[in-house]
Amino acid sequence: MAEQKKSLPLNGKTALVTGGGRGIGRAIACALAEAGADVAIVYRSNEAAAYQVRDAIRSLGRRGVALHCDVSRSAEVSAAVEGIHRELGAISIVVNNAGIAQMRTMDEITEGDWDEVLAVNLKGAFLVTQASLPGMRGARWGRIISISSVAAQVGGVVGMHYAASKAGIIGLTHYYAAYLANEGITANAIAPGAIDTEMAAALPLLKPESVPVGRLGTAEEIAAVAVMLACNGYITGQTINVNGGRYPG
């Protein structure tokens, strides 16, 4: 068993996955654990699901914690990161996955809709990354992986607020990549297309026939890319499109 742990590429690293209780976040958290990382997940509403993921991480022989946190609130982010430091040590890998999707047309959207989606999807990624950076910079090793969307590139079906928040993720990624490259820290985005998750199920316009490969993607296909980025120190500033050919990249 000791020999097996030694060979795992992320052994000794601590990962934080936001929105890790279900869907893409759950798949990424478990895949990082399988690659050797200890994993903390934060959740906003579904405590039972989050604890199931924590238990799955532990069943893989890794340390795992689940903490309540609204990523749009700086005080909660700071408290969660401090808790992770106490339980698992400094954060090496951040996966900004937490997000909400409220379907609104341009005629329906309100200022409140805009503010809520931008606060969770974009401001949350900023707050979590900023809180996690001191440990990465101290170690001169880090990975920032943020989940964008094909909507950032083609507009999508959810609404302008969602598309703008996911486009912002790409801009944020470019900034971190440019200014942290010489400190051993990479920053990349993943832009999924239509993925078979609870969020997609709530969006009736997302249909398999709209995808060139003829099916929805799986959360595990996104997780495989996240693990690749966590293991690779030479890819930075990129947006990896995982969308079944919906957008050529």
In terms of phi and psi (left: phi > 0; alpha: psi -120 to 50; beta: otherwise), the region of 8 is beta
| Residue 208 confidence (pLDDT) | 77
Q: Is 234 a catalytic residue?
A: no
CATH of segment(s) 10-242: 3.40.50.720
Domain extents for the chain? Answer: 10-242
pLDDT of residue 2: 44
Q: How far apart are CA 159 and CA 175, in angstroms?
A: 25
| Residues sharing a CB contact under 8 Å with residue 1, sequence separation 6 or more, in sequence order | 61
The pLDDT of residue 1: 43
The one catalytic residue in 51, 162, 175, 247 is 162
- pLDDT attached to residue 157: 86
Stretches where the chain sits below pLDDT 70 are 1-6, 199-206, 247-249
pTM over 0.85, yes/no: yes
> What pLDDT sits at residue 194?
87
Supply the pLDDT for residue 212.
84
DSSP readout, 107-124? Answer: TT--HHHHHHHHIIIIIH
> Quick check: 135 and 91 in contact, CB under 8 A?
yes
pLDDT of residue 200: 65
188 bridge partner residues: 145
